[in-house]
Amino acid sequence: MSDQTIFILMIFFIGFLMTQAFVAPLMGSSRKARRRLRERIRDLSTDQDAQRHVSLVRDRYLKELSPLELKLLSLPGMDDLQRLIDQAGSSQLPHRLVLTGLVTAIAAGVAAGLMLGWGLGAALIGVTAGAMPFLLLRRKRAQRLARFEEQLPDALTVASRALRAGMPFNEAINLVAQEIREPAGKEFGIVFTEINYGGDVRAALLGLLERVPSVAVMATVTSVLVQRETGGNLAELLDKLADVVRKRFRFQRTVRTLSADGRLSAWIMALIPFVIAAAMTVTMPGFLNLLIDDPAGPKLIMLALAFMTAGILWMQQIVRIDV
């Protein structure tokens, strides 16, 4: 393996690891916690149709698809990708997103091969370009969930005031859809539409949870479902939930600000070896060949890469705080 290949692989691996560790959302609960809370909420439902909840908006798109597109939608992984698209608030269909990624990867790989030569670099460029639509979708999903959590306290307050004014629950949800902007207004509008078309409130709330997998939404849906089973003052409950969610959001912002220096330090420490290597290559060509040509050189490089990986994972645990 040449020194150029090793250097490209190290940059690609460290860059990917740093992106997943520090560019991905730093706040919120872990996947295990979300899965555990989602299972608790689904346990509250005795209606099997609620667990097989399908969005009315998605049904409208499915009716316009050709038989070939319906076949593509039945492929493994399309349901998870559709869920990601719904959570991002996009109307794109999963098989079209996959085809877009494939075309982008092929085009970028061919272009890189023609300009840089057919090798590992061209392949990595093609893979990275093909993954961009999915990475952008995940980023859009994270931004949308963050905006929803920011709007959720105001939405709960509007619903509480509507209930105090004597409105039924579905009309309070409709008022939230009219008064609150995207994305909270749109999501509560879908809930109102499903209830208004004769759907079960439980199924509509579980559908909201599937589209917005947030801890705050899980707490809200759990509280509403429990209140519908046991009774109580729903308006007062929504007021308390709004206060808790608002305080949690402020705490998240504070923690994110306090951990900014740790994340910046992590980026600097991870990039310093590559910056120094690039500077030495430019100022002293052939100097790094002493390391590459030595029999122990590749082993030392792999050992350094392993230590860098362990350091990045350690720093990730330090700056990531579950709230």
Mean pLDDT over the full length of the chain = 77
* The amino acid at 300: L
82 neighbors 94 (Cβ within 8 angstroms) = yes
Give the residue among 28, 26, 27 at the shortest CA–CA distance from 217.
Answer: 28
**DSSP class per residue in 119-157:** SHHHHHHHHHHHHHHHHHHHHHHHHHHHHHHHHHHHHHH
* The amino acid at 164: R
First to last CA, the chain: 45
What is the pLDDT, as a whole number, of residue 27?
A: 41
Domains held by the chain: number: 2
Considering the domain architecture, whether residues 190 and 209 belong to the same structural domain is answered as yes
Retrieve residue 307's tokens.
């230590």
- pLDDT tens for each residue of 170-186: 899 999 999 998 889 99
Q: Which domain holds residue 158?
A: 145-254
Considering the domain architecture, whether residues 243 and 201 belong to the same structural domain is answered as yes
The torsion angle over the Cα atoms of residues 175, 45, 323 and 233, rounded to 10 degrees, is 50
- pLDDT tens for each residue of 104-157: 888 888 887 887 677 777 787 788 888 888 888 888 888 898 899 889 999 999
Considering the domain architecture, whether residues 236 and 315 belong to the same structural domain is answered as no
Asked if the structure places residue 218 within a domain, the reply is yes
Considering the domain architecture, whether residues 221 and 248 belong to the same structural domain is answered as yes
Considering the domain architecture, whether residues 197 and 269 belong to the same structural domain is answered as no
